[in-house]
Chains A and B, each alone.
Chain A
Amino acid sequence: MASPLHQFEIKPLIPLEIAGIDVSFTNSSLFMVAAVAGVTLFLTLSMRGRALVPGRWQSLAEMMYEFIGGMIRENVGNEGRHFFPFIFTLFAFILFGNLFGLLPYAFTFTSHIIVTFALAMTVFIGVTIVGIVLHGAHFFTLFVPSGVPKVMIPFLVPIELLSYLSRPISLSIRLFANMMAGHTMMKVFAGFIVGLGFLGGWAPLAVNVALTGFEFVVAFLQAYVFTLLTCLYLNDAVHLH
């Protein structure tokens, strides 16, 4: 029986090397490209009719658009609309990566910490730059809680700073851990089905059916949480406190 972690192995499909660094086109790359193609095809094909009264697919695309639009409006406010394409891309990329990863034999690129950490760092650095560009040095008042006695400030600023710096870590580990744990569980129970055979295999099969449904929820929910937290961080940077 293959190890439950076998599914996370990176396998080069087209070996490539640039300046001595391995940049092969791997199964991970394939699913990233698939997510890009999937999102783009979904949004362009469904909107092809540009119908005044939308059909099913167009409704779905509009729903996704308005879902992210509403999230930004509610959490960042009107200034957030400049970041709409980025946040939409982030949501769509993670969502399709998670969902495509649920297909049998598929690879889930969001189950790799380096990918989620890179995304989280992009958000973190981007949000910090936005804050500094908008507010200059005033941005650093973000680390000084308002309405606190002066004596407490030396203690509170390091805590605030630490919590700010831990944002990309919590953001990336949340997504990575959820995806990895879910897929590992599914593989473990699938192993039990085979191990217990026709007589006892039904119980883990039932569990796996439930887990599959659960994983679809997690796939959406984690994409949502990642995007929502990005919005909240952006809100902090745009409005300070």
Chain B
Amino acid sequence: MPQLDVSTFPTQLIWLAISFIALYVLMSKLALPRIAHVLDARQKRIDDCIAQAEEFRKEAEEALGAYEKALAESKAKAQEMLRETTEGLNKQAEARQKELGDRLAQQIKDGETRIAAAKQAALANVRDVAAEVARTAVEKVAGLAVDAGKASAAVDAALKE
């Protein structure tokens, strides 16, 4: 069994020591710090990104809050405006309606007055025509000349009956 050949022990031990110490130095001074540096940089980057994301989230939340507040304000304002406008329009419409009603009432009254006057005039005309017809009829039938005043008096008397 070659493992038990003591004569090979010194060379194995000395080369083991040389290579192990060399590897230790290479690892601790060269390879491991490099890996540690890369891992640290990555961890730092990840932490930074997370912090930044958190900040952005906060900002977004603030913006959302402001937007909601603005929205609520504008809604309230719009409501107020709508109410005012409606009120104004209602008032205006009422005023117009009243004016129109007044005017129409006036016109109706005017019309009624005119109709009454026209009726009066028409009635007067009928009396005059009747008197004239009576006088002319008397003159033609009886051959008598009747005084216009008498005729109209007679017509008036006949109308009264």
Contact = CB atoms under 8 A, between A and B. Distances in A.
Interface string B114-150: 0000000000000000000000000000000000000
Nearest to B8: A10
B30 A65 contact: no
B37 interface: yes
Interface in B1-37: 1-5, 7-20, 22-24, 26-28, 30-32, 34-37
B68 to A, nearest CB: 39
Interface stretch (A38-46, A72-80, A230-238): A38-46
Given A40-B30, A40-B31, A115-B16, A62 B23 contact: no
Interface residues of B, number: 37
Contacts of B28: 85, 89
A10 B26 contact: no
B15 A36 contact: no
Interface residues of A, number: 50
Contacts of A8: 1-3
Main secondary structure of the interface of B (DSSP, over half): helix
A135 B24 CA distance: 26
A29 B11 contact: yes
Main secondary structure of the interface of A (DSSP, over half): helix
A130 to B, nearest CB: 16
Interface of A: 5, 8-10, 12, 16, 21-26, 28-29, 32-33, 35-36, 39-40, 43-44, 47, 50-52, 54, 58, 61-62, 65-66, 84-86, 88-89, 92-93, 109, 111-115, 118-119, 122, 176, 180
A-B pairs, 5 with minimum CB distance: A85-B28, A29-B15, A43-B31, A32-B19, A10-B8
